[in-house]
Amino acid sequence: MVKKIAGYSGWVSVFVDAVRDTAPNSLGSILLAGKNRYASVLAEVAREVLQGYLGSFNPITGSLGTLVAKLIGDIASALIKKIGLWNVFIAVDDVKIFHEKAVGDAYLASLYRTMRVLRDEGAERVVILIATSDGESRKVLGRASVSAQRLLWNMDQDSFQELVNELGRLNKFQNWKRSIIKSSHEEVRRRCGNDVGCILWSYSGGNPRSLESLANENWNPRTWVKRLAAMRIRPLLDTGIVSPRSLIDDPDSDDHLADIMTQHNLMSPVTRDNALGIPPMKDYELGIGERWAWQYPALRLAAMEALGDRRQGGPRLGS
């Protein structure tokens, strides 16, 4: 989307990766300009804006991407002053900083002020898109009068296949393909056979960040799902408050339970009448219902893994 809008005459578009952890001298991996000739200018003005904050920044306790996301209004204003006045599109990806209403209100207010300043200076259009998969952040943002919420789902299957094809051109991926096929779950193998694109879709549902997580597990789906079960599902089960068992077979089976899972960033509501792009098709095997869906299919498999361990007397987290 950022690249496409950058191709329109008179537009500057900026992408911010709000969850990226990196060193301050590597801002290029967090901030991307839609047109390459602005990339160095964008990094320059970002460093200038961040200069007063980096002295107290602690990379152990904070994400530089989150800091950039908080200051994107100031960065955008500085960018405009450097390159002259354009129409502006800003996309901030995967913001997770709004667990308190006051924080969310203050952040939205700062962005709204930025939009007004740029418009007062003559900009015809200023558009800011904030993407979040965080359930609590979405609720806080939804209460703000200056925001309008839309469902922005994962990549569609054709676009995702293009991404897989790009990976297939890498020599190392030939070895990864064997690992992906060999270590995939029986349920996935029944669905896909040896079709690697289908297998990856059946775990990620088109979520590109989940591919990165799978790559970190040496492209071993079983290892990845076990880790998700240990890190994301079992701590929730250990509270004794909730069990997602019914949502594995039917994500729409319990609205209250699905809302709790959304608060823990495991599921999402599916709004089909005001979506950006194509909303997901109902597919229970991928964890997608009519009203609710697992954020990506591997989380549903992780719930099966965790609950299966419980049924078989498997170890509890921390035992």
Separation CA 133–CA 262 (nearest Å): 9
Token reading at 8? 């329109």
Token reading at 25? 């001298």
CA 296 to chain centre: 11
Separation CA 243–CA 122 (nearest Å): 54
Token reading at 53? 């904050």
Most confident option among 11-25, 37-51, 96-110, 256-270: 256-270
Question: For the chain, what is the mean pLDDT?
Answer: 76
Nearest alpha-carbon partner for 180 in 193, 162, 169: 193
Separation CA 50–CA 219 (nearest Å): 36
* Stretch 69-96: mean pLDDT: 70
* Stretch 8-37: mean pLDDT: 57
Separation CA 19–CA 30 (nearest Å): 8
**pLDDT for residue 31:** 53
**pLDDT for residue 90:** 75
- Per-residue exposure over 234-262, b if at least 16 CB sit within 10 Å of its own CB, e if not: bebbeeeeeebbebbeebbebeebbebbb
- Any idea which of 24-28, 83-87, 259-263 has the lowest mean pLDDT? 24-28
**pLDDT for residue 25:** 46
* Stretch 135-154: mean pLDDT: 70
The 8-class DSSP code of residue 7 comes to T
- Any idea which of 43-47, 125-129, 164-168, 190-194 has the lowest mean pLDDT? 43-47
Are 67 and 74 within 8 A, CB to CB?
no
Nearest alpha-carbon partner for 316 in 233, 260, 245: 233
- Residue 99, pLDDT > 70, answer no
- Per the model's pLDDT, the better-predicted residue between 243 and 232 turns out to be 232
Residues 160-196 pLDDT 10s: 888 888 877 766 677 788 889 999 999 999 999 999 9
Domain spans of the chain?
Answer: 2-142, 157-311
- Per the model's pLDDT, the better-predicted residue between 118 and 156 turns out to be 156
- Per-residue exposure over 45-66, b if at least 16 CB sit within 10 Å of its own CB, e if not: bbeebbeeeeeeeeeeeebbbb
**pLDDT for residue 22:** 47
**pLDDT for residue 211:** 86
Task: For the full predicted model, state whether its pTM sits above 0.95.
Answer: no
**pLDDT for residue 316:** 35
**pLDDT for residue 209:** 82
- Paired strand residues for 15: 32, 91
Most confident option among 119-123, 147-151, 283-287: 283-287
Res. 142 pLDDT band, cuts 50 70 90: low
288: phi then psi, degrees, rounded to nearest 5: -115, 120
Burial of 169 (0-12, 13-18, 19+ CB in 10 A): exposed
Separation CA 206–CA 162 (nearest Å): 11
- Give the three-state DSSP class for 132: coil
318 vs 227, 235, 252, 311, CA distance in Å? Answer: 13, 10, 31, 18
Separation CA 43–CA 48 (nearest Å): 9
Are 186 and 137 within 8 A, CB to CB?
no
- Residue 122, pLDDT > 70, answer no
Alpha-helical (H) ranges within 264-315 are: 297-311
- Residue 100, pLDDT > 80, answer no
